[in-house]
């Protein structure tokens, strides 16, 4: 007959109580640590790095900017309030469905408060417009002044909304342009009338090439997808910038 260890109810009761007390103590210590870390973050870390802080276009780009832009852009009222607070003006774009897989919902056209878009007919869903305005103010303009010695007054693009599949193919994935959730940025018009074009200046070893690479790298911190001439030949003449899908920077 196998030997059984004698049971002592008082010992077992004390052990269970000690285990519960140890678990409760660990839980209190854990939450105390979380609270201390949150207080330190609130006081010592800039709000652009904190995902729970409200998004503001006037803040520099931080570690949480992209996720906050995507989150704020998902709510039409919040997105528009952020744009207005930063001094941007826009007109609403009516909803439409075209081509079976193409839709435009929650879209607007920015018509003031940032470097002008050319062509001006550039409907974008609000989260795309929000990301574009952050990038223009916090990446493009600082880079232009630092590298080129002047500001950017115009953004030249190849389009935002386009009812098509990726690369214009007859089959395959639908383009982000089919929902007005992307812009193809081709060039930058400077205050003195000069232009910087992706097609012409991407490989320029001088200031224009440096500027283009600065703004491409900065776009990767704002947009979910940033594609440049480094990605493939189809993007040799523009930056594709969108707020959809998986994170990609190339």
* pLDDT of the residue at 41: 47
Residues 122 and 100: their CA atoms lie apart, in Å, by 21
For the purposes of burial, counting CB atoms within 10 Å of the CB of 231, is it exposed (0-12), middle (13-18) or buried (19 or more)? middle
- Tokens representing 249 are 């920077």
Q: Are 60 and 48 in contact (CB under 8 A)?
A: yes
Residues 98 and 81: their CA atoms lie apart, in Å, by 29
Q: Is the peptide bond before 245 cis (omega within 30 degrees of 0)?
A: no
* Four-way CATH pick for 88-249: 3.30.750, 3.30.1380, 3.20.20, 1.20.120: 3.30.1380
Among 36-40, 124-128, 195-199, 218-222, whose mean pLDDT is lowest? Answer: 36-40
Q: Which DSSP letter does residue 241 get?
A: E
Each residue's pLDDT tens digit, 2-30? 556 555 566 566 767 777 776 667 666 55
Stretch 233-248: mean pLDDT, rounded? 94
Q: Which DSSP letter does residue 175 get?
A: P
Nearest CA to 179 out of 161, 152, 198 is that of: 161
Stretch 62-82: mean pLDDT, rounded? 94
Nearest CA to 180 out of 229, 100, 243, 112 is that of: 243
Q: Report CA torsion sign: 167, 153, 106, 90.
A: negative
* pLDDT of the residue at 12: 62
* pLDDT of the residue at 128: 97
Count CB-CB contacts under 10 A for residue 147.
19
- The rounded mean pLDDT for the chain is 89
Domain ranges of the chain: 88-249
Give the C-alpha distances (Å, rounded to integers) separating 113 from 61, 67, 86, 87, 95: 18, 23, 8, 6, 24
Which H/E stretch holds residue 38?
A: helix 9-44
In percent, how much of the chain has pLDDT > 90? 73
Stretch 197-207: mean pLDDT, rounded? 98
Q: Are 113 and 89 in contact (CB under 8 A)?
A: yes
Give the C-alpha distances (Å, rounded to integers) separating 93 from 10, 122, 141, 207, 229: 74, 10, 27, 37, 31
Each residue's pLDDT tens digit, 103-159? 999 999 999 999 999 999 999 999 999 999 999 999 999 999 999 999 999 999 999
Phi, then psi, of 61 in degrees rounded to 5: -70, 130
């Amino acid at each position: 007959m196998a030997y059984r260890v004698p049971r002592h109810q008082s010992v077992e009761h004390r052990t269970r109580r000690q285990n519960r007390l140890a678990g409760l103590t660990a839980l209190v210590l854990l939450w105390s640590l979380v609270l201390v870390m949150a207080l330190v973050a609130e006081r010592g870390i800039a709000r652009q790095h904190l995902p729970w802080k409200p998004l503001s276009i006037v803040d520099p780009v931080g570690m949480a900017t992209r996720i906050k832009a995507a989150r704020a852009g998902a709510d039409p009222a919040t997105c528009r309030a952020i744009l207005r607070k930063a001094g941007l003006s826009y007109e609403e774009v009516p909803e439409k469905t075209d081509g079976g897989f193409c839709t435009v919902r929650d879209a607007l056209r920015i018509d003031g408060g940032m470097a002008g878009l050319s062509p001006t007919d550039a409907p974008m869903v609000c989260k795309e417009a929000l990301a574009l305005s952050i990038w223009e103010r916090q990446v493009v303009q600082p880079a232009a002044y630092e590298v080129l010695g002047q500001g950017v007054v115009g953004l030249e693009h190849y389009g935002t909304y386009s009812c098509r599949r990726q690369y214009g193919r007859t089959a395959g994935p639908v383009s982000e342009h089919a929902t007005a959730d992307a812009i193809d940025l081709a060039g930058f018009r400077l205050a003195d009338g000069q232009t910087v074009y992706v097609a012409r200046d991407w490989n320029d070893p001088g200031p224009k090439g440096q500027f283009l690479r600065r703004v491409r790298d900065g776009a990767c911190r704002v947009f979910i997808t940033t594609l440049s001439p480094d990605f493939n030949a189809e993007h040799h003449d523009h930056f594709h910038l969108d707020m959809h899908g998986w994170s990609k920077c190339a």
